[in-house]
Structure formats: structure tokens, C-alpha cells
Amino acid sequence: MSNALIIVDVQPDFCENGALPVTGGEMVASAIASDVESRRSHYAAIVTTQDWHIDPGEHFSSTPDFVDSWPVHCVAGTPGAELHPAIADLPVDAHFTKGRFTAAYSGFEAREMLAQAPKDDESGALLGDWLRAHGITSVDVVGLAADHCVRATALDAASQGFHTTVIAPLTAAVSPENMPHVHDELRAAGVTVLTLG
């Protein structure tokens, strides 16, 4: 199998002191960077996804329910939407952005960010198409947040036929108490969940 690592939404706005912080986000960013440094040869490709919001409609709310609506976060072109500094200099093969004009949780809704393209450009390849074009058959999924975008990305990866593994120690959740249920849901969909470092 040709394996890829998908680093989901490791952005300053999702880390401590960000607009929509996930407890443990900073630790996850550092842990992913260390893992890539030690296991880069394990992967045929490494890709990142980013929330990249311009006008995502009701996804942003001044009275968010933290299920379908959220405080303003990861506005395209702002520092909070960039890759976390621990991730930014990793040897990544492609970057994918999602959610410009709508809510988007799964990395498989994201399109490749093309060099020098305007921030509202949506002409890049979808993540799934890019992976298939590069001969990828298996993916490891890590990042933020475990119970939202990591979950959605892993479910879509499995539904698109990729052998999918979530490396749980390299994730952090908005609601950690819900993770046993999330892990059960992932396993039921055929996703492998690694819970040990």
C-alpha cells in the first residue's frame, strides 16, 4: 500500500489562545512535527488541510451552538488561518483549503491551494482526487479537532475506499468526553483507531 499522512487543520485559531481553541492543540502540533521528522520515510505523501473561511454563512455566529455554528475563526489570509508554525516548515507535498463560502468539516471537501492563487480560488484538485492521482491507497489522519474535522475526514477517506487510520495521540478534541463514541463510530465505518503512542 502507498500511504499518505493527512494533517487536519493544525492552525493557530484551533490552538490555545486562538479564536476557537482546542485544549491540547499546541501539544498536538509539536507531536505531529516530531512524528513527521522521525517517520517521514513511512509516507509516500504528506498533505495538510486548513479551514479557510471567507463568507461561510451560518457557520459563523455571534451566538454559536458549537455544533453547527461557531465563533469567527480561520478567516482566509489571517494569521489564525495559516498553518501552525510547528507544521509550516514540514516537508509537505500539497496544501488543501476548505470552507471558503460554506461550512466544511472533511478534508475531502478541500481543494489544493495553488501557488500564487487568490484566496478565493477554488480551481485546485479535491483531496481525494489528488490522493488517487498520486497512487495513494492508505491514509493516516491526525490533527484538530478529533471530534469534528478529523472525524469527518476519516469517515470520508474510508467511504472513498482508502484504508484509513486515525492516530489518536496525534489529535485533540473539542469535547474529549465524546471520544469513546467517536472512536466507536469510526471503527464501525472501517477506520482503524490507534490509541497508543
List domains and CATH numbers for the chain: 3-194 (3.40.50.850)
Query: What does the alpha-carbon distance between residue 118 and residue 113 come to, in Å, rounded to a whole number?
Result: 9
Q: What is the pLDDT of residue 115?
A: 77
Residue 170: Cβ within 10 Å count: 27
**Type of residue numbered 74:** C
Q: What is the pLDDT of residue 66?
A: 87
Q: What is the pLDDT of residue 116?
A: 74
DSSP state of 67: S
Q: What is the pLDDT of residue 102?
A: 92
Q: What is the pLDDT of residue 64?
A: 92
Q: What is the pLDDT of residue 31?
A: 97
- Which residues are annotated as catalytic? 9, 98, 149
- For 62, the enclosing helix (H) or strand (E) is none
Tell me, letter by letter, the H, E, C secondary structure of 99-161.
Answer: CCCCCCCCHHHCEECCCCCCCCCCCCCEHHHHHHHCCCCEEEEEEECHHHHHHHHHHHHHHCC
Q: What is the pLDDT of residue 122?
A: 79
Q: What is the pLDDT of residue 182?
A: 97
* pLDDT by residue, tens only, the chain of 197 residues: 699 999 999 999 999 999 999 999 999 999 999 999 999 999 999 999 999 999 999 999 999 998 889 999 999 999 999 999 999 999 999 999 999 999 999 999 999 998 777 777 778 999 999 999 999 999 999 999 999 999 999 999 999 999 999 999 999 999 999 999 999 999 999 999 999 75
